Amino acid sequence: MLAQAADNEKGLKRTLGAGNLVALGIGAIIGAGLFVRTAAAAGQAAGPAVTLSFVIAAIGCAFAGLCYAEFAAMIPIAGSAYAYSYVTMGELIAWIIGWALIMEYALGAATVSIAWSEYLNTLLGGAIPYEWSHSPFESFTDSAGVLHQGILNAPALIILLLLTLLLIKGTQESAMVNAVIVFIKVAIVLVFIAVGWQFINPANHTPYMIPEGTAPFTDSAGKVIADYSGVFKHGWGGVLGGAAIVFFAFIGFDAVSTAAQEAKNPARDMPIGILGSLAVCTILYILFGHVLTGVSPWQDFVDPVKGREASVAYAISTYMPGYGWLATAVTIAILAGFSSVILVMLMGQSRIFYTMSNDGLIPKAFGDLHPKYKTPYKANWILFVFVGAFAAFVPGHVAGDLTSFGTLFAFVLVSAGVWLLRKKEPEIKRPFRTPAVGFVSTMGVLVCTGMIIALDRQTLTVAFVWMIIGLIIYFAYSRKRSKLRNFADVLPTADDFEKRSL
pLDDT (tens digit per residue) in 451-469: 788 777 888 888 889 889 9
Query: CA-to-CA distance for 31 and 395, rounded, in angstroms?
Result: 18
Give residue 239's identity as a one-letter amino acid code: V
Answer whether 50's CB lies under 8 Å from 38's CB: yes
Q: Which of 3, 1, 15 is nearest to 261 (CA)?
A: 15
pLDDT in tens, 343-387: 778 877 887 787 788 788 888 888 787 787 777 788 889 999 989
Four-CA torsion 493, 494, 500, 502, nearest 10 degrees: -150
422 phi/psi in degrees, rounded to 5: -60, -40
Helix (H, G, I), strand (E, B) or coil at 16: strand
Query: CA-to-CA distance for 373 and 369, rounded, in angstroms?
Result: 8
217: β partners: 226
- What's the confidence (pLDDT) of residue 291? 93
- What's the confidence (pLDDT) of residue 171? 47
Query: CA-to-CA distance for 283 and 186, rounded, in angstroms?
Result: 12
- What's the confidence (pLDDT) of residue 277? 86
Mean pLDDT of 229-243: 85
Outline where 46-201 has alpha helix (H): 50-74, 81-89, 91-123, 154-169, 175-196
CA angle at residue 179 from 173 to 183, to 5 degrees? Answer: 135
Highest mean pLDDT among 97-101, 113-117, 293-297: 293-297
Q: Residue 33 carries which DSSP code?
A: I
Identify the band that residue 143 occupies on the pLDDT scale cut at 50, 70 and 90.
low
Is the pLDDT at 48 greater than 80? The verdict is yes
Better pLDDT: 268 or 293:
293
Q: How long a stretch of residues is the chain?
A: 502
- What's the confidence (pLDDT) of residue 260? 67
Mean pLDDT of 282-296: 92
Outline where 197-253 has alpha helix (H): 235-246
Query: CA-to-CA distance for 220 and 439, rounded, in angstroms?
Result: 50
Is the pLDDT at 3 greater than 70? The verdict is no
- What's the confidence (pLDDT) of residue 175? 46
Is the pLDDT at 474 greater than 80? The verdict is yes
> How far are the Cα atoms of 2, 138, 273, 319, 399 from residue 265, in angstroms, in the given order?
17, 49, 11, 48, 37
> How far are the Cα atoms of 96, 269, 439 from residue 284, in angstroms, in the given order?
33, 22, 27
**Domain boundaries of the chain, sorted by first residue:** 15-480
Question: Percentage of residues in the chain with pLDDT exceeding 90?
Answer: 12
- What's the confidence (pLDDT) of residue 201? 92
Q: Name which of 59-68, 100-109, 281-290 the model is least confident about.
A: 100-109
Arithmetic mean of pLDDT over the chain: 80
Q: Which CATH superfamily is domain 15-480 in?
A: Amino acid/polyamine transporter I (1.20.1740.10)
Answer whether 368's CB lies under 8 Å from 377's CB: yes
139: β partners: 149
Determine the straight-line distance between the first and last CA of the chain, rounded to whole angstroms: 34
